[in-house]
Amino acid sequence: MLVSVDQDRCCSAGQCVLTAPTVFDQSTEDGYVQLLQERPEPALAADVRLAAALCPGRAITVSESA
């Protein structure tokens, strides 16, 4: 799994941080998403996919390629 974020699409809702806090964080300056793990472990896959689905700005992309 490969995760990427688009800062330009982020609206600082924080759903990603609430759903997968070991993979995502928010900037203290502007609240925009910060990616902590580009390749999270398989055990986090469901949470990462849910975070992407919940993102109102669609700023999170999850690719299944290795």
CATH number of the domain that residue 10 is part of: 3.30.70.20
CB 3 within 8 A of CB 50: no
Domain total of the chain: 1
Q: What is the model's pLDDT at position 66?
A: 57
Mean pLDDT by 10 residues, the chain (66 residues): 96 96 96 96 97 97 84
Sign, CA dihedral 39-42-48-52, equals: positive
Helix (H) or strand (E) holding 3: strand 2-5
Containing structural domain, residue 58 = 2-63
Q: Model pTM?
A: 0.92
Sorted by sequence, the CB contacts under 8 Å of residue 16 that are 6+ apart come out as 23, 24, 33, 51, 52, 54, 55, 60
Q: What is the model's pLDDT at position 23?
A: 98
Alpha helix stretches (DSSP H) within the chain: 15-19, 45-54
Q: What is the model's pLDDT at position 64?
A: 87
Q: What is the model's pLDDT at position 56?
A: 97
